[in-house]
Structure 1
Amino acid sequence: MNSALALKYVVDGLKQRTAYTHAKAAGEVTDEASSVKCTLQDTTRLPAFSMDGDYTIGGVFSIHYNMQNMKHNYTTMPEPLQCTGRIEPRELRFSRAMIFAIEEINKSSKLLPGIRLGYQIHDSCASVPMAVKVAFQLTNGLDPYFYTSHNCSQSGMVMAVVGESSTGQSIAISRVIGSFNIPQVSHFSTCACLSNKQQYPSFFRTIPSDQFQANALAKLVKQFGWTWIGAVRSESDYGNNGMASFLATAHKEGICVEYSESFNRYHPRSRIQRVADVIRRSTAVVVVAFVSFGDMKTLLEELSREPSPPRQWIGSEAWVTHPDMLKFTFCAGAIGFGIPRSVIPGLRDFLLDLPPIKVASSPILTEFWEDAFNCSLDFDGATDKRLCDGTEDIQKLQSPYTDTSQLRITNMVYKAVYAVAHAIHNAVCQETNSTTQCDKLSRTESKQILAQLKKVNFSQNGYPVSFDANGDPVAAYELVNWQKSGSLEFVTVGYYDASMPVGQEFHINRDLTWMEERTQVPVSVCSDSCPPGTHKVLQKGKPICCFDCIPCPEGEISNSTDSTDCFPCPKEFWPNAKRDSCLPKPVEFLSFDEVLGIILAAFSVGGACLAIITGTVFFRHRTSPIVRANNSELSFLLLFSLTLCFLCSLTFIGAPSEWSCMLRHTAFGITFVLCISCVLGKTIVVLMAFKATLPGSNIMKWFGPLQQRMTVVSFTFIQVLICTVWLVVSPPFPMKNLTTYKDRIILECALGSAVGFWAVLGYIGLLAVFCFVLAVLARKLPDNFNEAKLITFSMLIFCAVWITFIPAYVSSPGKFTVAVEIFAILASSFGLILCIFAPKCFIILLKPEKNTKKHLMNKNQY
């Protein structure tokens, strides 16, 4: 008998057995029993896989990814729910891994010895309605009729349920079985909402909550400097809750979202197209997708129809490690978090152990086999496919079902089954004298298993299993990158461990490949970073990541990238040209090194030399009539005071110090009073000399040399007294002027007491005005007998200079204030020496013939 014929006999025999089972489940075949029976109100749905045992564990997986659409007319009983589409090979592997774990436990001598676990594994078709139906069926059992002595509750209740893969279905199952205290352990439902023990008190999971994944994804986006992203999510509990958690964390990290779109694969294609168009038109290069596998597959198929600009995909665990997604090569470079890879010894051999009799006995395996090898096991010829001839070799099959190189979620199923087994073990077994005794005859309720599940803490194949107060495990992820090495494959490039201290959870240990196989991290920002020297100003009506870079105001800097504000430099510092650092302000004062200081110093020294030269000329011709006639003693004293006036201006040049500040103002005040006193003495002598020529007048005895000296000393002493009081009460002092100029420091002498300064100037002005008035009164006297006109001109210049000095001094900024003061001193000093002594020196040196007593006594002018 050839292999094809043998296979036909096996299939026919199993068809007959299956038909009988269906008839019994539908109530067409009944057993003799008591008339007291409970009846299910709906037709039962046979499990995809089942096995009897002392304790039964339920399993729910999305083996098919679609369900037949039902049309309800509300007049007849709806048709039974039916799955459609192709089998999902990975989900089939999950269900077979559950069977493998249970068979491994049944063979164990340490875990549940002497007890046989059974299972009922159902296909939810990845739909909530079917998940609800399956949940009730796991609660009630498979028999349409069951017999009881008192009530119809908890007749066929399973001890626990493993599953479901999707959050929506898990929520539906949990709301049903949670009322009966039946624990549920999911291997792939990651919604953070399921951690709420008030709503889902019996829910556990071996996969981390999306709250951890959302935090990890936000930190991943922040790690690479992406502040402008797009976001897509499944329109489901998984997508909505996961994306909400991600966006909340991203907002705290300063990440902005250009768009946030939701969809699912059951939406009309126009809706999917709209989401795809949003992705194509967006300016955000990075797209974070919190999407289930089926939805993401639909979206990428739509995006593949029309090429879009390159996008850097950041994926959630639900799709980023799914083998079927690798066919979308335009997503190369995608990164995301996956459950750590694992090794389950013996699983591959178990998955590949599918002899024809096992395949034919299961409609699910039959469908998988026919789809995988594109042949038919229906030997009645009801299909156009070729008949399977027994030569099909599953060992050579390339399918997610047979691929055990990246066992991630499969290990979560494996751990979930073992968690339930440990809970049952702790509930029904006891350790006695190093031996384990299990009582399989005792009635064990599901709430006991629920209580024990909260306490489990064990390791299986090196994988720790425990649950926190929310039913969640410790979160640990691998960072997975889609890299091309001939073909597209998953490469682990780092990890994230939520149990590590803050700041140390994230680690990358390999180079990443980005979109379009780039080696440089792509840039995804709304606005380029603001360089130092500028600050961010938000653009009106846009997120905080969209901004303009505005230069810092005068006097302020920013020394970091993307500064939100500028800050002023310290008082003695000023920004550089780029306004990204503070430099010490240049210190400014009237120095001997600059042109203005050199010129003023030269005029000062020149003036002093001129006074000395004039004094020398007068001394050498002291016996000449013109010198004797002009009160030589006062003339020499005047020349000496003028020399001091010229030289005191030098104290105003150079960096101010305590002694120079006190000296410059007091020396200036005293020397000028001495100078004006001499001029005033000369003027009084001229007036009194004219009065003395009148008959009967002896007034000159009151204005002799002694009186002249006393006059000069008295006037000067008053100024000395004013300066002394000024220096004692509040003397001038050096200071840094930071207000006149913002960008530099002016070193100057503060007046100390402004009253003292203006008292010194006022006293000089008072003497100058008095002298000017006397000189004006004496201007009509004969020119040969006095120098009243020369004194009048000198006092006129003196008064004009100092009257204009006051507004110029007040309004001149910085070092020019000092320059104005020096100019006033020099101008008034030169006015005095030139007006009073220049004509006399001219006669002495150039017109000696006029330097005679006869010439002075005549009426001719000299």
Structure 2
Amino acid sequence: MFLAIHQDRQWRYIVPSPGAGPIVFLQKAEMKYRIFVPKFYQHILALVFAVYEINNNPKILPNLTLGFHILDNYSEAKMTYHTTLDLLFKSHRFVPNYQCGSKKNVLGVIGGLGLETSMYMADVLGLYKIPQISYGSFESTMNDEIYFPPFYRMVPNEGLQYVGIVQLLLHFRWKWVGLITMDDQSGDHFLQTLEPMLSKNGICSAFTERAATKKNVDIRAETAQILYKNSSVLESEASAIVVHGETSTIIWLAIIIWLRSLSDFEYTERSSAGKVWITTAQIDFTFTSIQTSSDIEMFHGALSFTIHSSELTGFQTFLQTVKPPWTNEDGFFKNFWEEEFDCSFPSSRKSAENNELCSGEESLESVPATFFEMSMTGHSYSIYSIVYAMAYALHFMHINDKRTQEPMNVEPWQLHSFLHWISFNNTAGDEIALNDHGELAGGFDVRNLVTFPNNSYVKDKVGRLDPQAPPGKELIIHEDRITWHKRLTHVPPFSVCNDKCKPGYSRKKKEGEKFCCYDCAPCPEGKITDQEDMEYCVTCPEDHYSHSSQDQCIPKTQNYLSFAEPLGIVLVFLALFSSVITALVLAIFVKHWDTPIVKANNRNFTYILLVSILICFLCSLLFIGQPKQVTCFLRQTAFGIIFSVAVSSVLAKTVTVIAAFMASKPENIFRKWMGRRMTYSIAISCCLVQVGICTLWLSYSPPFPDMDKHSLSREIIMQCNEGSVTMFYSVLGYMGFLATVSFIVAFLARKLPDGFNEAKFITFSMLVFCSVWLSFVPSYLSTKGKYMVAMEIFSILSSSIGLLCCIFFPKCYIIILKPELNSRECQQNQIYNQCPTLPLHPMETEKY
């Protein structure tokens, strides 16, 4: 068997062997331009290293030697088809479908890195069911087994990268991003897939640029022509720029910035400051020979999705053995070595232009990573795994079929069943397995580019894209491991169309611009934003209110009339003080119960009126404090019934005055039935009506404790819900009706003879009573919370004090300070302006 590398249709032999064996084919698809990219030479070395390990491993394909060919298509579709057919059928003369005397037995093909190359190869290889395993990461349309039945990929699904890009942008809150991709089918698919995903997640594209893919042109001339057409790339303020495509895209971008810097020396520094480049797995950071003066530093801090790779034992040692003696065995080596070390070999065309000859002592370890990496890249790692996958598939097939003794008897289509279920651990310990779509069952690494002054760099692993993670959590990023660009003023940088809205403000769309560009509008009352750049203001919970800056919700305080606050203390003091005064008046009247002024107008009603006034003062205390079930149940009903008793007593006393005057006339009809029964029946019947209303209220819809969260913006009103508002106003209305009747009756009796003119005091007390409660209704309806309760307490106290002062204080004045006027002699003489006006009950008057 033999191992051969093919370039420019010349064959160089490495290890001669007596037998013919299986051949592995590497399509060199990366060389898009007529510029040699020396960094890709590692792909070849990874292939050689894998074949070398397998051929020296007695546990894999024992007694068999693995060989390979390497060919180039020069980025031409015509050359891709021709080279593929040439590999399969050429012997002495190229005749498609004719393989006479050829010792090549192609069982599997590696390639290519690009989508178009793989499609062209699959068109031919699919006809012959020859397995093709690619190491390139491109869109998932290649999973369609109808069109590409023999196609496999040693890379994860490309769609996973789009998910990772979106999650990376969301992680750092980058909402204004630039997009750069190739001007080809792959670029179209990238934009058609990613842009809807960005819009769905609230991310806008600041610009979209398509890198040229013209072949066989001088890249500097082409870039110079499109330099000023790509001002969006050069001048955009977007901090995050997603770059998709192939390695030539980075070369294109670097040259644009380099050429611009020739006319603007500060441009490179200005353009790279604040930029974070996000690249996909197909891209590698590499320079060509024409870019030796360029500075990789402008890509410092870039974040790259890369194919997972691990360091292989012995690979760097193997790279150190790569020396000029390889020139007799490897047709790629001369170009690679001359490009890397800027020297020439004696037989090279370059020697005539360069006096410096290659000494052979040059070391790859001294080459910057932009031109050659000593650590294995993701694509090289994929090639390494592909070779092992092919070898294991052949090995398992040979073990399972003992009759297959000669490799020449193996047909390519027989490998498919083994490749579909291939699963093994490579020498680095990583599991290699293909899923149902013929793709590597794994994820991507996220690496951070850290550059050095000598144009070298390292790529630190800072995250992982795991397809097995729950939806929305595929990306794992370690932000503390990221090294950002040193010129960034803020890390991570902002990448938004405009400044973020501060807490307390929300986005307001700008007309005619993308939705990521907006103004900041302050949140209305009751709504807040507690984070930067929120799209909508959030309404505070019912038991919270918005801060004046609209950036936080503050718990509302409870609003009720407390015993501990000044207003509550004043009202309690006033109620207790008035109660004490009423009790003293009652004590005075009880002590002087047998005097004429006490007996006047039925002293029993006087006692009832004083007791009811005393209870009215005390029932006002039910309105103070946090509402409870009991206090809410008793507040209005107790107040309504007690006041009805008081007003009914006043009415009874007024009717007594009128009846006594009418009964004093001879032969008056009132004289026959006038007595205590009538006055008691008036008082009792008036009270029973109010009791009936309150009983119906409590049985139908009683008051209960309630919270009003909406009337006041910053407080929760702790109140007693009246239950039935109709019944509440019925109680007040009936009480007002009694007061009005008492006022009218007393007003009509105000001009009775002096001996019966107590009606004047009753008239004035009812006038005060009615005035207080008429003013209460609008005041009660116009206030909220504790002030509404305080208004009702004030009305109760003021109306009760009006009754007490207007009716009883004049009598107390006579009893205490003018006792000589409170005598029977004075009463009998009826001395004008000396004796008080004492309207007496008719029956009591007769006793005198």
What TM-score do the two structures reach when normalised by structure 1? 0.79
Counterpart residue number, 2:9: 46
Q: 1:164 aligns with which of 103, 112, 117?
A: 112
**By how many angstroms is 1:485 displaced?**
5.4
Residue ranges of structure 1 left out of the alignment (5+ in a row): 1-21, 23-43, 67-83
Deviates more, 1:801-810 or 1:302-311: 801-810
Deviates more, 1:365-374 or 1:486-495: 365-374
Counterpart residue number, 1:204: 152
Is residue 586–residue 744 contact of structure 1 (8 Å, CA) maintained in 2?
yes
Counterpart residue number, 1:525: 496
| Counterpart check, 1:175 vs 2:123 | yes
Give, as a single letter, the amino acid of the residue that structure 2 aligns with 1:343: L
SS in 2 for 1:820: helix
Q: 1:125 aligns with which of 67, 74, 81?
A: 74
User: Hey, what's the Cα distance between the residues in 2 that align with 1:157 and 1:454?
Assistant: 21
User: Hey, what's the Cα distance between the residues in 2 that align with 1:597 and 1:136?
Assistant: 102
| Counterpart check, 1:299 vs 2:267 | no
Give, as a single letter, the amino acid of the residue that structure 2 aligns with 1:471: G
Is residue 648–residue 686 contact of structure 2 (8 Å, CA) maintained in 1?
yes
Counterpart residue number, 1:72: none
Is residue 319–residue 364 contact of structure 2 (8 Å, CA) maintained in 1?
no
**By how many angstroms is 1:93 displaced?**
4.3
Give, as a single letter, the amino acid of the residue that structure 1 aligns with 2:246: S
**By how many angstroms is 1:139 displaced?**
3.7
Give, as a single letter, the amino acid of the residue that structure 2 aligns with 1:832: L
Q: 1:632 to 1:536 in 2, by over 3 A?
A: same
Give, as a single letter, the amino acid of the residue that structure 1 aligns with 2:376: Q
Give, as a single letter, the amino acid of the residue that structure 2 aligns with 1:185: I
Give, as a single letter, the amino acid of the residue that structure 2 aligns with 1:479: V
Counterpart residue number, 1:413: 383
Counterpart residue number, 1:9: none
Among the aligned pairs, what percent are the same residue? 30
Counterpart residue number, 2:163: 215
Counterpart residue number, 2:300: 332
Q: 1:91 aligns with which of 40, 43, 46?
A: 40
Instruction: Describe the superposition over 1:59-110 as per-residue Cα deviations: whole angstroms up to 9, x where unpaired.
Output: 32147542xxxxxxxxxxxxxxxxx44x332334434554565566566655
Deviates more, 1:195-204 or 1:749-758: 749-758
Counterpart residue number, 1:481: 448
User: Hey, what's the Cα distance between the residues in 1 that align with 2:635 and 2:155?
Assistant: 87
Counterpart residue number, 1:135: 84
| Counterpart check, 1:59 vs 2:26 | yes
Instruction: Describe the superposition over 1:384-431 as per-residue Cα deviations: whole angstroms up to 9, x where unpaired.
Output: 435787844355785578754335433433333344444455667776
Q: 1:677 aligns with which of 641, 645, 648?
A: 648
User: Hey, what's the Cα distance between the residues in 1 that align with 2:730 and 2:356?
Assistant: 124
**By how many angstroms is 1:127 displaced?**
3.8
Q: How does 1:325-724 map onto structure 2 within 5 Å?
A: 327-339=295-307, 340-343=309-312, 345=314, 352=321, 359=327, 364-368=332-336, 371=339, 384-385=352-353, 391-395=359-363, 398-399=366-367, 404-424=374-394, 438-440=405-407, 442=409, 444-450=410-416, 452-462=418-428, 464-484=431-451, 487=454, 488-494=456-462, 496=464, 498=466, 500-502=468-470, 503=473, 506=476, 508=478, 511-516=481-486, 520-526=491-497, 539-540=510-511, 542-543=513-514, 545-547=516-518, 553-556=524-527, 565=536, 568=539, 571-575=542-546, 584-618=555-589, 626-627=597-598, 631-697=602-668, 699-700=670-671, 702-705=673-676, 707-724=678-695
Q: 1:607 to 1:219 in 2, by over 3 A?
A: closer
Q: 2:279 aligns with which of 315, 338, 345?
A: 315
**By how many angstroms is 1:577 displaced?**
5.5
User: Hey, what's the Cα distance between the residues in 1 that align with 2:347 and 2:700?
Assistant: 124
User: Hey, what's the Cα distance between the residues in 2 that align with 1:147 and 1:731?
Assistant: 101
Q: 1:491 to 1:346 in 2, by over 3 A?
A: closer
What TM-score do the two structures reach when normalised by structure 2? 0.80
User: Hey, what's the Cα distance between the residues in 1 that align with 2:377 and 2:832?
Assistant: 134
Is residue 601–residue 656 contact of structure 2 (8 Å, CA) maintained in 1?
no
**By how many angstroms is 1:191 displaced?**
4.2
Is residue 463–residue 476 contact of structure 2 (8 Å, CA) maintained in 1?
yes
Instruction: Describe the superposition over 1:428-483 as per-residue Cα deviations: whole angstroms up to 9, x where unpaired.
Output: 77765xxx9631454x5443445554454445534654433333223354433222
Is residue 731–residue 751 contact of structure 1 (8 Å, CA) maintained in 2?
yes
| Counterpart check, 1:769 vs 2:740 | yes
Give, as a single letter, the amino acid of the residue that structure 1 aligns with 2:799: S
Q: How does 1:750-829 map onto structure 2 within 5 Å?
A: 750-754=721-725, 756-829=727-800
SS in 1 for 2:481: coil
SS in 1 for 2:232: helix
Q: 1:288 aligns with which of 226, 231, 242?
A: 242
SS in 2 for 1:415: helix
Give, as a single letter, the amino acid of the residue that structure 2 aligns with 1:161: V
**By how many angstroms is 1:284 displaced?**
1.7
Deviates more, 1:673-682 or 1:529-538: 529-538
Aligned pair count reads: 796
Is residue 180–residue 241 contact of structure 2 (8 Å, CA) maintained in 1?
yes
Is residue 458–residue 466 contact of structure 1 (8 Å, CA) maintained in 2?
yes
**By how many angstroms is 1:303 displaced?**
0.9
SS in 2 for 1:165: coil
Counterpart residue number, 1:7: none
**By how many angstroms is 1:729 displaced?**
4.7
Deviates more, 1:133-142 or 1:373-382: 373-382
Q: 1:254 to 1:631 in 2, by over 3 A?
A: closer
User: Hey, what's the Cα distance between the residues in 2 that align with 1:296 and 1:373?
Assistant: 22
Is residue 344–residue 350 contact of structure 2 (8 Å, CA) maintained in 1?
no
Give, as a single letter, the amino acid of the residue that structure 2 aligns with 1:199: Y
SS in 1 for 2:464: strand
User: Hey, what's the Cα distance between the residues in 2 that align with 1:256 and 1:652?
Assistant: 61
**By how many angstroms is 1:300 displaced?**
0.7
User: Hey, what's the Cα distance between the residues in 2 that align with 1:380 and 1:559?
Assistant: 69
**By how many angstroms is 1:514 displaced?**
0.9
User: Hey, what's the Cα distance between the residues in 1 that align with 2:561 and 2:338?
Assistant: 101
User: Hey, what's the Cα distance between the residues in 1 that align with 2:711 and 2:348?
Assistant: 106
Is residue 708–residue 718 contact of structure 2 (8 Å, CA) maintained in 1?
yes
Counterpart residue number, 2:93: 144
**By how many angstroms is 1:147 displaced?**
11
SS in 1 for 2:385: helix
User: Hey, what's the Cα distance between the residues in 1 that align with 2:732 and 2:350?
Assistant: 126
Instruction: Describe the superposition over 1:259-318 as per-residue Cα deviations: whole angstroms up to 9, x where unpaired.
Output: 222112538336642575213322221212113112311211211232214211122233
Q: 1:476 to 1:710 in 2, by over 3 A?
A: closer
Is residue 652–residue 660 contact of structure 1 (8 Å, CA) maintained in 2?
yes
Give, as a single letter, the amino acid of the residue that structure 2 aligns with 1:652: F
SS in 2 for 1:596: helix
Larger gyration radius, structure 1 or structure 2: 1
